[in-house]
Amino acid sequence: MFRKVLIANRGEIALRVICACKELGVRTVAVYSEADRNSLHVRFADEAICIGPPRSAESYLNVPAVISAAEIADVDAIHPGYGLLSENANFAEVCRASNIKFIGPPPEVTRLMGEKEKARMAMKKAKVPILPGSEGVIQSEEEATEWAKSVGFPVILKASAGGGGRGMRVVRSAEELPNLFHAAQTEAQNAFGNGDLYMEKFIERPRHIEFQVLADEHGNVVSLGERECSIQRRHQKLIEEAPSLQVTAKMREEIGATLKKSLSNIGYMNAGTVEFLMDEDGQIYFIEMNTRIQVEHPVTEMVTGIDLVKAQLRIAAGERLSAILPKQLEIRGHAIECRVNAEHPEKFTPSAGKIHVFNLPGGNGVRVDTAQFSEGFVPPYYDSLIAKLIVHGRDRAEAIARMERALGMFIVEGIHTTIPLHRRIFADEEFRSGAFDTKFMERFFEREKEAREKAVL
Ligand code: MV4
DSSP states of 354-419:
E-SEEE---STTEEEEE---TT-EE-TTS--EEEEEEEEESSHHHHHHHHHHHHHH-EEESS--SH
Question: How far away, in angstroms, is 85 Cα from ligand 1 center?
Answer: 24
Residue nearest to atom 21 of ligand 1 (CA): 208
State residue 85's pLDDT score: 98
How many percent of the chain have pLDDT more than 70?
A: 100
Given a cut of 80, whether residue 164 has pLDDT beyond it is no
Note whether residue 457 is domain-resident.
no
Q: Cα angle vertex 344, ends 343, 349, to 5°?
A: 65
Confidence of residue 166 (pLDDT cuts 50, 70, 90): confident
Question: How far away, in angstroms, is 265 Cα from ligand 1 center?
Answer: 27
Residue 431 neighbours by CB under 8 Å, 6+ apart: 231, 425, 440, 444
Same domain, 153 and 301: no
State residue 367's pLDDT score: 98
Atom of ligand 1 nearest to the CA of 164: 7
Residue nearest to atom 7 of ligand 1 (CA): 165
Same domain, 216 and 194: no
Same domain, 179 and 227: no
Distance CA 235, CA 95 (A): 30
Question: How far away, in angstroms, is 163 Cα from ligand 1 center?
Answer: 9
The region of weakest confidence among 31-40, 228-237, 276-285, 346-355 is 346-355
Best mutation site among 156, 204, 273 for ligand 1 pocket (most ligand atoms within 8 Å of CB): 156
Question: How far away, in angstroms, is 170 Cα from ligand 1 center?
Answer: 10
Note whether residue 110 is domain-resident.
no
Best mutation site among 151, 153, 168, 237 for ligand 1 pocket (most ligand atoms within 8 Å of CB): 168
Confidence of residue 303 (pLDDT cuts 50, 70, 90): very high
Same domain, 44 and 145: no
Same domain, 185 and 279: no
Please say which residue of 201, 227, 245 terminates a domain. Answer: 201
How many percent of the chain have pLDDT more than 90?
A: 96
Same domain, 259 and 361: yes
Note whether residue 264 is domain-resident.
yes
Residue nearest to atom 12 of ligand 1 (CA): 165
Please say which residue of 163, 183, 201 terminates a domain. Answer: 201
State residue 87's pLDDT score: 97
State residue 344's pLDDT score: 86
Same domain, 338 and 410: yes
What are the CA-CA distances from residue 140 to residues 120, 146, 161, 196 (Å)? 20, 10, 17, 10
User: What CATH number is attached to the domain comprising 9?
Assistant: 3.40.50.20
User: What CATH number is attached to the domain comprising 318?
Assistant: 3.30.470.20
Given a cut of 90, whether residue 457 has pLDDT beyond it is no
State residue 163's pLDDT score: 75
Q: Indicate the average pLDDT of the chain.
A: 97
Please say which residue of 158, 177, 201 terminates a domain. Answer: 201
Residue 137 neighbours by CB under 8 Å, 6+ apart: 117, 160, 196, 197, 198
Same domain, 217 and 362: yes
Closest listed residue to residue 333, CA positions, set 389, 392, 390, 391: 392
Please, are residues 306 and 224 in contact by the beta-carbon 8 Å criterion?
Answer: yes
User: What CATH number is attached to the domain comprising 137?
Assistant: 3.30.1490.20
**Number of compact structural domains in the chain:** 3
Mean pLDDT calculated for residue range 205-215: 98
Mean pLDDT calculated for residue range 249-265: 97
CA–chain centroid gap for 317, Å, is 23
Note whether residue 111 is domain-resident.
no
Given a cut of 90, whether residue 346 has pLDDT beyond it is no
State residue 167's pLDDT score: 85
328-337: pLDDT as tens digits: 999 999 999 9
Residue nearest to atom 24 of ligand 1 (CA): 438
Note whether residue 354 is domain-resident.
yes
Atom of ligand 1 nearest to the CA of 229: 22
Distance CA 114, CA 224 (A): 22
Given a cut of 80, whether residue 134 has pLDDT beyond it is yes
Same domain, 261 and 158: no
Say whether pTM exceeds 0.85. yes
Same domain, 226 and 194: no
Question: How far away, in angstroms, is 374 Cα from ligand 1 center?
Answer: 38
Instruction: Report helix angle 89-97 to 63-73, nearest 10.
Output: 30
State residue 162's pLDDT score: 85
Query: Could you give the residue numbers annotated as active site?
Result: 292
Distance CA 376, CA 355 (A): 5
Note whether residue 116 is domain-resident.
no
Note whether residue 348 is domain-resident.
yes
Mean pLDDT calculated for residue range 97-118: 97
Please, are residues 332 and 225 in contact by the beta-carbon 8 Å criterion?
Answer: no
Mean pLDDT calculated for residue range 259-271: 97
Question: How far away, in angstroms, is 165 Cα from ligand 1 center?
Answer: 7
Residue 392's DSSP bridge partners are 335
Range of the domain at 167: 132-201
Residue nearest to atom 11 of ligand 1 (CA): 165
Closest listed residue to residue 445, CA positions, set 323, 349, 345, 329: 345
- Ligand 1 pocket at CB < 6 A: 131, 156, 163, 165, 200-203, 206, 208, 232, 235, 277, 287-288, 438
Given a cut of 80, whether residue 345 has pLDDT beyond it is no
Best mutation site among 131, 147, 287 for ligand 1 pocket (most ligand atoms within 8 Å of CB): 287
Please, are residues 269 and 321 in contact by the beta-carbon 8 Å criterion?
Answer: no
Note whether residue 341 is domain-resident.
yes
Please, are residues 271 and 221 in contact by the beta-carbon 8 Å criterion?
Answer: no
Given a cut of 90, whether residue 149 has pLDDT beyond it is yes
Residue 338's DSSP bridge partners are 239, 389
Atom of ligand 1 nearest to the CA of 201: 15
Same domain, 172 and 213: no
Same domain, 177 and 74: no
CB neighbour class for 320 (10 Å; exposed up to 12, middle 13-18, buried from 19) = middle
Please, are residues 10 and 382 in contact by the beta-carbon 8 Å criterion?
Answer: yes
**Residue count (the chain):** 457
Helices (H), 115-152: 116-125, 141-151
